[in-house]
Amino acid sequence: MGDVARRPPARRPVRIGNCAGTPDDRLSAAREMLEGPLDVLTGDYLPESTTPSLWSSRRKGLSPGYAATFLRQMEDVLGSCLDRGVKVVANAGGLDPAGLAVQLEALARSLGFRPQIAYLSGDDLLARIPGLLASGHALAHSYTGLALDEAGLPPATAHADLGGWGIAEALSAGADVVVCSRVTGASLVMGPAAWWHSWKRDDWDELAGAVVAGHVLKDGSQATGGNYCFLDEITDRRPPGFPLAEIAADGSSVITKQAGTGGSVSVGTVTAQLLHRVHEPAYATPDVTARFDSVRPEQDGPSRVSLTGAVGSPPPDELGVGLGMRGGWRNTVTLVFTGLDIEQKAAHARELLSAHLGEGEWCEEVDMRLSRAQRPDAPSHDEATAQLRITVRGQDERKVGADFTRTVRELAQGVFTGCHTTAPASDATPCAVFWPTSLPTRLVRQKLHLWNGTAHEVAPTPGRPATPRPGPEVPRLPRPHSQWRYPGPRHTVAAPLGRLCGARSGVRAGSANIGVWARTERAYAWLRRELTLGRLLQLLPEAEGLDVYRYELPKLCALNFVIAGLPVSGSGVISRPDAEAKGLGEYLRSRMVLVPAEVLEQGRRPAPAARAV
C-alpha cells in the first residue's frame, strides 16, 4: 500500500496519550489516561535493554516473550477504548507479536468484545544473521567498529528499529488495536498522527513535529515531573500523571496530562525529556530526520507546553539494529570494610581475589570498585563503612555462581578484619551485552497482518546516505542566539553546577549522553562558554580517553554531550553499576564550578513562561 487514505483537511488536533515507558510501569496508567479526552492510547514497552531480558525470561520459562503487563492493562480498559473509539497502539509484542495478538483476541472474547486487532512483524533478524554476514554485511559495532564475527559472543536476539507507517496503514484499514514488535518509541506517536492528519511520506516538517512529541511521550511520566532534577518545582508530589500530546495538522503540539493527576508539565520537564537519550541534534528515525535544535518549547498554561518549529528532512538509508549478545554469566558480591585503613584493606582484597579468581581461565572479566562514603570520626557505624563491589563474568554458570561466591566468602571470613558481605550468596545470572549496529533500509521489510488473515509488506521511506559523525574535536562556537553574553570575570562564587543547570542522562545505542540546560538565557550564555569539552572532562573523569561530542541546542538553552562507549557494551555490561547512565547527569550537577554571582542568582529561578528565541 502507498500513503494512507486522505482525510478531510484541517482536522482538530489528535490527542495521543502514553500509558507505559517500560514493561514495569504503573499498571493504572491506562485507566488514568482514559479519565479524560483521548483519541489514541500508546505504550512503549521495549526500551533497548528489554528485548534481551525477554529472551532470557522466555528461555527460563518465566515469560512468553512479550510484555504481559500490556494484557493486564487491556483487561482493565479495552471495553472503554472500544466504547469511545480510542485506538490502542503498543510495541508490547517483543519477541512474539503474533502470539500477543492471539492472546489479546482471546482476552477480548472472554470479555465479550470483538476488536479488530492488527500486528506488525519484520523486525526480527536473528535467523538472517548468518546470511547477512556471508553476503558481506559486517554488522560492525556502531562506535568501536568491531565486526560482529570478531566479537566472540553469539547473538540471542537481533531486531531492527522500524517506523510508524505500518501503524498508520493499520489504523487506516480500521484496526482498533495495533500490536507492534520493535518500532521506535517516537513511531508510536508519529504513526497515529500521520493517519489522523493524512500526512504524506514527504511531509517532513509535520512528521518531525510528531517525532518530537513522540520522543517526549515515550518514557511515560518522566515528562510530567518524574525523574526531574529540580524537585522544588514539582509542588504536586503525588505519583505523576502520564503525558499526552495534542498534535495539530502542522505538526506542532502541546504536551500536557489529564486533569487531576499528579506531577507537572513545564518547559523544564519537557526539556529534560527532549534531551534524554539523544545524540546528534539531527534525530534520525526510519521515517524522518527531526532537527531537535529547531524545536521551541513555551509554557502554554498550567501543565501545558507547546512545541513548535520542528524541521524535518528525509531519513538516512540505514536502519538501526540492536543485537542482544549472550555474554555468559555474571555474579556480584559486595564486601563491606569499616573504620580505618580502608584503602589498604581494599588493596589487599584486590590482590588476593585476583590471584584466586584466575582471570583468563574461567573468568573472562573482573570488575572491582571501591565506593567510599565513610568520614573521619564517623558519628555512626553505618557512616564509617566503605564497600568493595566485585563483579565477574564468564561462560561457566557453576564457577561464576557458587564457586565465585564461596571463594569471596572464604577470604572474607579469615583475612579482612571487620569485613562482612551485604547479602547472602546468590546464583549467577545471564549477562546480556547490547550490540548496536545498522543495515541498509532496503534489506528489512515490515509486514502488516490484519484481523482477516491477510498480510502485506509496508514500503519503507526512501532515505539518503547517512552523514558521517563529525570528529570529537571542540567545535567552533557560533554567535550567541540572544542579546545575552557571558558577563566576563566578575565576582564569582563556588556552587554545584546543578544549582544553576538541569541535566538528564541515559544510554542509547551503546553510548551515554548528558543533556545540560539552563533555566534562563543569561545562564545559558555562561554555560555555553564554561562547559567546553575540556571542562567536561575535568568534571567527569570517567570520560577520559573516550570520544566525546558536544552539540548546542540554543532554543532549548541546552548543550548535549555524547560519550561514545562509556558503558562499554551498553545495557547489562559488567563494567558500570549504573549500566544505563541514569545517574551520570546528577553526578555532573553535583560538581563544583565558579559562577558569576549575578548569573547564579538569576539562574536559580525557573524558566519564564515563554522563551523568546
Place of cell 547472602: 424
* pLDDT confidence tier of residue 1, bands split at 50, 70 and 90: very low
Structure confidence at residue 61 (pLDDT)? 67
Q: Which three cell numbers stand for residue 501?
A: 543547570
Distance, CA of 190 to CA of 247 (rounded, Å): 10
Confidence of residue 467 (pLDDT cuts 50, 70, 90): low
Query: Which residue would you say has higher pLDDT here, 249 or 2?
Result: 249
Main-chain dihedrals φ then ψ at residue 345, nearest 5 degrees: -65, -45
CA distance 14 to 355: 63
Q: What single-letter DSSP state applies at residue 33? A: H
Q: What is the pLDDT of residue 190?
A: 99
Model confidence pLDDT, tens digit, residues 19-51 = 999 988 999 999 999 999 999 999 999 877 677
Q: Where are the beta strands (DSSP E) in 68-162?
A: 87-90, 117-121, 155-160
Query: In angstroms, what is the C-alpha Rg of the chain?
Result: 25
Strand spans (E) along 91-217: 117-121, 155-160, 177-179
Contact by Cβ (8 Å): 368, 390 = yes
Cα-Cα-Cα-Cα dihedral sign, residues 233, 611, 555, 213: positive
Instruction: Please give the angle made by the CA atoms of 581, 582 and 585, to the nearest 5 degrees.
Output: 85
187 to each of 4, 216, 224, 270, 288, how far by Cα in Å? 16, 12, 20, 18, 10
Residues of the chain with pLDDT > 70: what percent?
A: 89
Which has more confidence, 328 or 475? 328
- pLDDT score of 382 more than 90: no
| Per-residue confidence (pLDDT) for residue 605, from 0 to 100 | 61
Q: What distance in Å separates the CA atoms of residue 168 and residue 203, rounded to the nearest whole number?
A: 14
**Residue 471, C-beta contacts closer than 8 angstroms, at least 6 positions apart:** none
3-state secondary structure of 182: coil
Pair 256, 265: CB distance under 8 Å: yes
Q: How far apart are CA 168 and CA 194, in angstroms?
A: 6
If you average pLDDT over every residue of the chain, what do you get? Answer: 88
Angle at 378 between CA 375 and CA 379, to 5 degrees: 145
Cell numbers describing residue 360 = 583468563
Phi and psi dihedrals of 597, rounded to 5?
Answer: -60, -40
pLDDT band at 477 (very low <50, low <70, confident <90, very high): very low
Estimate the crossing angle of helix 342-357 against helix 404-414, to 10 degrees: 140
E strand or H helix at 76: helix 68-84
Contacts of 465 (CB under 8 A, 6+ apart): 316, 317
Neighbours of 571 (CB within 10 A): 23
pLDDT for position 46: 87
Cα–Cα distance for residue pair 558/488, rounded to 1 Å:
20
Task: Check if the beta carbon of residue 221 is closer than 8 Å to that of residue 263.
Answer: yes
Q: How confident is the model at residue 217 (pLDDT cuts 50, 70, 90)?
A: very high
Angle, vertex CA 453, rays to CA 186 and CA 77, nearest 5 = 50
Asked whether the beta carbons of 66 and 182 are under 8 A apart, the reply is no
- pLDDT score of 584: 94
> Quick one: pLDDT band at residue 3, thresholds 50, 70, 90?
very low
Residue range 262-299, pLDDT digits in tens: 999 999 999 999 999 999 999 999 999 999 999 999 99
Residue 291's region, left for phi above 0, alpha for psi from -120 to 50, else beta, is beta
Q: What is the pTM of this model?
A: 0.90
d(CA 299, CA 251): 17
**pLDDT the model gives residue 180:** 96
Q: Which of 53-67, 203-217, 560-574 has the highest mean pLDDT?
A: 203-217
